């Protein structure tokens, strides 16, 4: 588990989430792994197959804390959220903007500018903090390309042209993304973007097969318990 800003990530696939005195409590079996106050959280993302208690889901819904469930491999399962507080005037304005190409372009330009700016900042920070562990010339070249796109995007007033700039910037950024992965490169590395599947290394596949065996044993024991059999 790891807390980043206001989001709590539960990465242990056998962890169970419960509510205890206004806290999210993480259990692994009978062992308490940790706890975090609800008041400091805005999102909880769980990669565990054991799920969470109804009491915790209700508490998160009441406090508008989004609780998201994914498989251990990262596939989306479900999300628990509270009441939506819609602003009718805001929605009407958003619809009007979406029907106006000029206003839509202004909004999109600001969003893409922020995206490219953040991508360049990541590269610059990597060059500053880990210059000896990365291919510095490649990252410098990519950063310069992103800077060129930032300078050109201010004059764009066409949505198709914006899409083109975003594509060029993304290609530059993800072209060196593998350089940003400094640890466990033998298990996880980046070869390119794919909308559907990711490439699993030989070691990663062995670990995945181990998880599958553990999951089958777990489901077998649960089935035997409900059917009245004795779990071995």
DSSP state, 37? Answer: E
Please answer whether residues 201 and 187 qualify as being in contact, where contact means their C-beta atoms are separated by less than 8 angstroms.
yes
What is the distance between the alpha carbons of residues 9 and 30, in angstroms, rounded to a whole number?
Answer: 20
Strand 7-10 vs strand 16-19: parallel, antiparallel, or unpaired?
unpaired
Please answer whether residues 136 and 143 qualify as being in contact, where contact means their C-beta atoms are separated by less than 8 angstroms.
no
Please answer whether residues 60 and 80 qualify as being in contact, where contact means their C-beta atoms are separated by less than 8 angstroms.
yes
65 or 202: whose pLDDT is higher?
A: 65
Query: Residue 232: pLDDT band by 50, 70, 90 thresholds?
Result: very low
pLDDT of residue 183: 83
pLDDT digits (tens, 9 = 90+) for 137-171: 999 999 999 999 998 888 888 888 899 999 999 99
Question: Looking at residues 203-222, what average pLDDT do you find?
Answer: 74
pLDDT of residue 189: 73
Please answer whether residues 219 and 212 qualify as being in contact, where contact means their C-beta atoms are separated by less than 8 angstroms.
no
Torsion sign (Cα): 199, 205, 210, 212: positive
pLDDT of residue 1: 56
pLDDT digits (tens, 9 = 90+) for 52-111: 999 999 999 988 899 999 988 888 999 988 777 778 898 899 899 999 998 999 999 999
Q: Does the pLDDT at position 226 exceed 80?
A: no
pLDDT of residue 67: 93
Overall pTM surpassing 0.85 (yes/no): no
Give CA 143 to chain center in angstroms.
24
pLDDT of residue 3: 56
DSSP state, 38? Answer: G
Q: Tell me the angle at which helices 159-175 and 101-129 cross, rounded to the nearest 10 degrees.
A: 10
DSSP string, 163-227: HHHHHHHHHHHHHSGGGG--S-TTT-------SS--PPPHHHHHHHHHHHHHHHHHHHHHHHHHH
What is the distance between the alpha carbons of residues 166 and 89, in angstroms, rounded to a whole number?
Answer: 31
pLDDT digits (tens, 9 = 90+) for 13-47: 889 999 998 999 999 888 888 999 999 999 999 99
What is the distance between the alpha carbons of residues 108 and 161, in angstroms, rounded to a whole number?
Answer: 11
């Amino acid at each position: 588990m790891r807390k980043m800003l206001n989001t709590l990530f539960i990465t242990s696939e056998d962890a169970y989430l419960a509510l205890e005195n206004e806290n999210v409590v993480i259990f692994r079996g009978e062992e308490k792994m940790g706890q975090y106050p609800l008041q400091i959280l805005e999102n909880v993302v769980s990669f565990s197959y054991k799920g969470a208690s109804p009491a915790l889901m209700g508490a998160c819904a009441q406090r508008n804390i989004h609780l998201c469930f994914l498989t251990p491999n990262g596939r989306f399962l479900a999300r628990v959220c509270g009441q939506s507080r819609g602003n009718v005037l805001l929605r009407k304005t958003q619809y009007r903007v979406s029907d106006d190409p000029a206003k839509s372009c202004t909004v999109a330009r600001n969003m893409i500018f922020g995206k490219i700016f953040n991508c360049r900042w990541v590269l610059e920070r990597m060059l500053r903090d880990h210059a000896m562990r990365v291919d510095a010339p490649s990252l410098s070249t990519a950063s310069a390309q992103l800077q060129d796109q930032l300078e050109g995007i201010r004059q764009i007033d066409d949505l198709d042209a914006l899409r083109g700039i975003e594509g060029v910037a993304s290609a530059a950024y993800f072209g060196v993304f593998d350089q940003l992965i400094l640890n466990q490169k033998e298990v996880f590395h980046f070869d390119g973007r794919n909308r559907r599947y990711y490439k699993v290394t030989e070691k990663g596949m062995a670990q995945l097969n181990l998880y599958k065996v553990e999951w089958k044993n777990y489901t077998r024991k649960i089935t035997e318990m409900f059917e009245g059999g004795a779990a071995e």
